[in-house]
């Protein structure tokens, strides 16, 4: 029997005893010490100061710093800036935030162009499993949602952004339901809710473990029904400005013929998502193929300030075995209904409902101190004992509530109703991003941001279920504000003056760009260039 | 980012007719990266939920091809792979009606649905193992909530429509049935409606005023004391 199989037997043997054990929550001091010692955000060698721009001198990870200081792909080329498209609002990104913004702006009467790197809908949204937090129950309230999120975010959330998020949650849930989103319901018609890590009350709305897929399918269907103008396979490569600091459009790149597309717009909305595919610190990721943080370096060159750009979420439970599943998310909701985390000896080592940063740190600790399990490909992980879900809640619960999880593992002959699986933290979310106000506007006039590309709402750690809420609430707000702005102003001149200023700043800071940014695709995926 | 063990043995796969050695134990998409094949079309979430990467493949000991998602399928020796465009059927502009749907609502956009010959081809190609044909039959019978349930895990890859000999677009029928079911859910979510009313009526205004004017120390107190939170939140 292999060591892996031996350890698996221990997990199964110890299950009955573990079911009776309780694992206390960590005290504030214990949690702080655990995170400081083991969370990847605290690895000093992974960080360096940003050497120029609005966040000069502040720390971020090497991978992002290199992008922010990077060279524009259009900088060295003589390209015509006469626009091929003129629109009120250009939205970049076809995930949940971009699609929501497009629908809202179209409804407000704006002429909208939606450009996206891959297909409409290709995004992290579609992959979200666990749910969307909305305070609906009688014992809950938006205020409680606010306090839980603030505590989870280490009090670094922007209070005004967070208040708007939680307060508009119920209204946004209704909006989605009116579009035809089918959340799980109770017998009496009320929304079925569950608990999530760090939340004092259950408030996760969900559609089995396909919540993001359900949202994205409906939003995509609506965008197609509205016949909003679409440019697929056309990522953004640079913004355009008027030379006086305001955003006036963008340059896209048609991936099929490598031609640039110049779009003049009264306002631009970045919904370009997060950073997972940069594999910060070598971590695997739960993210979409296109999650290469394209909006960040582009906005930064145009002068937008970032916030909390030094903090990332490592989801505690990414699969590590079998190898083709490495990085794929195992939803937190499975822990909230009884699945336990156990080490190589079959021992529990953390209360599974701690916040994600604490649970991830505890998993890293177990592996660092030799209590992890090694896979044949040389990865390390701990066990997530999923069969407990059926033991605690009744046979068939896993199959009914987590059909996606069951199917994904069954493709590799692993039955999660019978066996535990190996997990390790996977790079999941960019906690920070481009700084916005409650209308989703960045520090660059007429440049709006929504979704994971923005920063401030979630502080230094996002609670489960708050990002699906964020993309809809702020997708709507930014879409509305950006289309309103477009009615108030006329087209500005389209220049790349901000790149000249950026070059001057590079020279002054002695920065030699190490890369061209945006990255567009992860470096291991060879591209048609 | 390493996605395969350098020591793992090689297997031979065939992509659109050309043979390539690739490491055992990686997915078809990872194999495409490994052999330097451009991947822009036919790739998406890499997590089995976006439907961008349908393929057909045949194994040496099989007479016929199977269908799958390339990001969810491990390479095997002798596997012959062809990528298929995702979701190539036409979508009807099918809006949510003002009044609750009846049988005609769906058929006005997807009239071909009634032609189903029960050949089961759609179910046999579905990478999500959906009872697609059962869904189509339920649609014909007007049982929209049953259709909705059956298509819960649909990733809209469109393989079912691609193989339908009478040109039914089952995934689109499923999607529309789901939206109709959601928008006209037979029972109200009363607690949600109450909460919306509470927010509109300003029930939480004084709490927000306290929170947004509080300094860090005060905020910290609200966050750490259940009693303070309870008082504020109720």
CB A67 within 8 A of CB A55: no
| pLDDT confidence bin for B172, thresholds 50/70/90 | very high
Give the model's pLDDT for residue B20.
96
| Of A105-114, A402-411, B135-144, the least confident | A402-411
Q: What is the pLDDT of residues A214-261, one digit of tens each?
A: 999 999 999 999 999 999 999 999 999 999 999 999 999 999 999 999
Q: What is the pLDDT of residues B93-131, one digit of tens each?
A: 999 999 999 889 999 999 999 999 999 999 999 999 999
Task: List the catalytic residues of A.
Answer: 315, 335
At a CB cut-off of 8 Å and minimum separation 6, what does A48 contact? A59, A60, A62, A65
* CA–CA gap between residue A54 and residue A455 (Å, rounded): 15
| The pLDDT of residue A355 is above 80 | yes
Give the model's pLDDT for residue A529.
42
Average pLDDT of chain B, as a whole number = 93
Contacts of A211 in chain B (CB under 8 A): none
The CA angle A195-A198-A203, to the nearest 5 degrees, is 30
Interface check B155 vs A, CB under 8 A = yes
| pLDDT confidence bin for B6, thresholds 50/70/90 | low
Contact yes or no for A404 and B48 at CB 8 A:
yes
- Residues paired with residue A185 on neighbouring β-strands, in sequence order: A191
Residue by residue, DSSP assigns B99-124 as SPP-HHHHHTT-GGGGG-----HHHH
Average pLDDT of chain A, as a whole number = 95
DSSP character for A453?
Answer: G
> Which tokens belong to B15?
């992509």
Interface check B96 vs A, CB under 8 A = yes
| The pLDDT of residue A104 is above 70 | yes
A and B: number of Cβ contacts within 8 A = 225
| The pLDDT of residue A513 is above 70 | yes
Residue by residue, DSSP assigns B135-200 as HHHHHHTT-HHHHHHHTTT-----HHHHH-TT---HHHHHHHHHHHHHHT-SS--HHHHHHHHHHH
| The pLDDT of residue A202 is above 80 | yes
Average pLDDT score over residue span B37-45: 91
| The pLDDT of residue A441 is above 70 | yes
Give the model's pLDDT for residue B10.
94
Interface check A410 vs B, CB under 8 A = no
Give the model's pLDDT for residue A526.
65
Mutate to test the interface with B, among A127, A192, A217 (most CBs of B within 10 A): A217
CB B222 within 8 A of CB B208: no
Q: According to DSSP H, which parts of A369-496 are helical?
A: 387-393, 397-401, 403-410, 466-488
Average pLDDT score over residue span A65-78: 91
> What stretch of H or E contains A114?
strand A112-115
Interface check A63 vs B, CB under 8 A = no
- Residues paired with residue B156 on neighbouring β-strands, in sequence order: none
CB A105 within 8 A of CB A271: no
Give the model's pLDDT for residue B2.
41
| The pLDDT of residue B5 is above 70 | no
Average pLDDT score over residue span A347-359: 93
| pLDDT confidence bin for A3, thresholds 50/70/90 | confident
Interface check B206 vs A, CB under 8 A = no
What angle in degrees, to the nearest 10, is found between the helix axes of B205-213 and A159-167?
A: 160
Please name which of B85, B41, B80, B91 lies closest in space to residue B58, comparing C-alpha atoms.
B80
Per cent of chain B over pLDDT 90 is 84
User: Is the whole model's pTM more than 0.80, yes or no?
Assistant: yes
Give the model's pLDDT for residue A528.
44
What is the three-class DSSP state of B208?
helix
Q: Determine the distance in angstroms separating the CA of A525 from the nearest CA of chain B, rounded to an integer.
A: 5
Residue A384 φ then ψ, to 5°: -110, 115
Average pLDDT score over residue span A299-307: 98
Give the model's pLDDT for residue B1.
39
Taken in order A407, A409, A412, A414, the sign of the CA dihedral is negative
| pLDDT confidence bin for A1, thresholds 50/70/90 | low
Does residue B229 or residue A279 have the better pLDDT?
A279
Taken in order A519, A525, A526, A527, the sign of the CA dihedral is negative
Q: What is the pLDDT of residues B195-215, one digit of tens each?
A: 999 999 999 999 999 999 999
* CA–CA gap between residue A53 and residue A502 (Å, rounded): 8
| The pLDDT of residue A512 is above 90 | yes
DSSP character for A278?
Answer: G
Interface check A107 vs B, CB under 8 A = no
Give the model's pLDDT for residue B210.
94
Q: How far apart are the first and last CA of chain A?
A: 48
Contact yes or no for B192 and A190 at CB 8 A:
yes
Contact yes or no for A288 and B30 at CB 8 A:
no
* CA–CA gap between residue A70 and residue A301 (Å, rounded): 9
| B-proximal residues of A, 217-246, CB under 8 Å | 217-218, 221, 224-225, 227, 233
Contacts of A190 in chain B (CB under 8 A): 189-192
Give the model's pLDDT for residue A197.
85
- Residues paired with residue A384 on neighbouring β-strands, in sequence order: A341, A421
* CA–CA gap between residue A158 and residue A422 (Å, rounded): 36
At a CB cut-off of 8 Å and minimum separation 6, what does A42 contact? A35, A36
- Residues paired with residue B19 on neighbouring β-strands, in sequence order: B14
* CA–CA gap between residue A269 and residue A90 (Å, rounded): 6
| The pLDDT of residue B3 is above 60 | no
| B-proximal residues of A, 129-168, CB under 8 Å | 134-138, 141-144, 146-147, 150-151, 155, 159-160, 163, 167
* CA–CA gap between residue B227 and residue B218 (Å, rounded): 14
Interface check B147 vs A, CB under 8 A = no
* CA–CA gap between residue A159 and residue B215 (Å, rounded): 11
What is the three-class DSSP state of A135?
coil
């Amino acid at each position: 029997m292999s060591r892996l199989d031996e350890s698996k037997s221990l997990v199964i043997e110890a299950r009955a005893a573990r079911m009776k054990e309780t694992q206390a929550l960590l005290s504030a001091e214990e949690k702080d010490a655990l995170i400081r010692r083991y969370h990847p955000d605290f690895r000093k060698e992974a960080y360096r100061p940003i050497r120029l721009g609005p966040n000069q001198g502040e720390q971020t990870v090497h991978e992002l710093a290199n992008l922010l200081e990077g060279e524009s792909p259009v900088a060295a080329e003589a390209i015509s800036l006469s626009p091929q498209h003129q629109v009120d609002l250009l939205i970049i990104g076809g995930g949940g935030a971009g699609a929501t913004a497009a629908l809202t702006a179209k409804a407000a009467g704006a002429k909208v162009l939606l450009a996206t790197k891959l297909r409409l809908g290709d995004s992290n949204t579609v992959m979200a499993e666990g749910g969307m937090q909305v305070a609906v129950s009688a014992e809950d309230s938006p205020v409680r949602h606010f306090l839980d999120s603030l505590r989870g975010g280490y009090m670094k959330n922007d209070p005004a952004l967070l208040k708007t998020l939680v307060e508009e949650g119920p209204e946004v849930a209704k909006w989605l339901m009116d579009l035809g989103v089918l959340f799980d319901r109770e017998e009496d018609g009320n929304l079925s809710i569950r608990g999530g890590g760090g939340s004092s009350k259950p408030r996760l709305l969900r559609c089995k473990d396909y919540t993001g897929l359900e949202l994205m399918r409906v939003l995509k269907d609506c965008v197609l029904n509205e016949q909003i103008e679409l440019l697929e396979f056309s990522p953004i490569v640079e913004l355009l400005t008027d030379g006086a600091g305001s955003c006036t459009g963008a340059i896209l790149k048609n991936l099929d013929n490598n031609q640039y597309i110049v779009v003049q717009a009264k306002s631009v909305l970045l919904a370009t998502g997060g950073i997972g595919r940069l594999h910060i610190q070598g971590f695997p990721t739960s993210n979409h193929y296109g999650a290469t943080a394209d909006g960040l370096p582009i906005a930064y060159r145009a002068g937008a300030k970032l916030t909390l750009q030094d903090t990332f979420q490592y989801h505690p439970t990414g699969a590590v075995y079998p190898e083709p599943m490495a990085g794929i998310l195992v939803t937190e909701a499975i822990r909230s209904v009884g699945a336990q985390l156990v080490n190589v000896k079959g021992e529990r080592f953390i209360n599974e409902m701690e916040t994600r940063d604490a649970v991830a740190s505890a998993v890293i600790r177990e592996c660092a101190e030799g209590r992890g399990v090694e896979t044949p490909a040389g990865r390390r992980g701990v066990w997530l004992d999923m069969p407990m879900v059926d033991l605690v809640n009744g046979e068939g619960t896993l199959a009914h509530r987590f059909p996606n999880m069951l199917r994904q593992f069954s493709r590799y002959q692993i039955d999660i109703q019978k066996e535990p699986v190996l997990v390790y933290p996977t790079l999941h979310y960019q906690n920070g991003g481009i700084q916005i106000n409650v209308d989703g506007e960045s520090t660059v006039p007429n440049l709006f941001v929504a979704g994971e590309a923005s920063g401030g709402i979630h502080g230094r750690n996002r609670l489960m279920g708050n990002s699906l809420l964020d993309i809809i609430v702020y997708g709507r707000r930014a879409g509305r504000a950006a289309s309103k702005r477009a009615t108030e102003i006329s087209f500005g001149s389209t220049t790349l003056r901000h790149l000249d200023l950026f070059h001057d700043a590079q020279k002054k800071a002695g920065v030699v760009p190490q890369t061209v940014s945006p990255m567009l695709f992860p470096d291991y995926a060879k591209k048609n260039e | 980012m390493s996605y395969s063990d350098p020591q793992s043995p090689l297997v031979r796969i065939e992509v659109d007719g050309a043979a390539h050695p690739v490491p055992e134990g990686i997915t078809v998409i990872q194999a495409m990266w490994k052999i330097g094949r451009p991947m822009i079309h036919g790739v998406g979430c890499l997590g089995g939920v976006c439907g961008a990467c349908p393929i057909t493949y045949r194994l040496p000991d099989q007479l016929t091809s199977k269908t799958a998602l390339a990001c969810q399928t491990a390479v095997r020796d002798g596997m012959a792979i062809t990528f298929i465009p995702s979701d190539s059927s036409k979508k009807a502009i099918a809006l949510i009606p003002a009044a609750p749907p009846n049988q005609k609502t769906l058929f006005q956009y997807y009239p071909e649905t009634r032609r189903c010959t029960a050949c089961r081809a759609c179910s046999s190609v579905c990478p999500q193992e959906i009872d697609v044909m059962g869904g189509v039959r339920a649609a014909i019978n007007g049982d929209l909530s049953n259709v909705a349930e059956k298509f819960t895990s649909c990733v809209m890859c469109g393989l079912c429509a691609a193989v339908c000999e009478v040109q039914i677009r089952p995934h689109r029928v499923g999607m529309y049935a789901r939206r109709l079911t959601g928008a006209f859910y037979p029972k109200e979510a009363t607690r949600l409606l109450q909460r919306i009313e509470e927010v509109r009526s300003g029930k939480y205004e004084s709490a927000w005023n306290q929170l947004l004017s509080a300094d860090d120390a005060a905020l910290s107190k609200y966050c750490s004391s259940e009693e303070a939170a309870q008082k504020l939140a109720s």
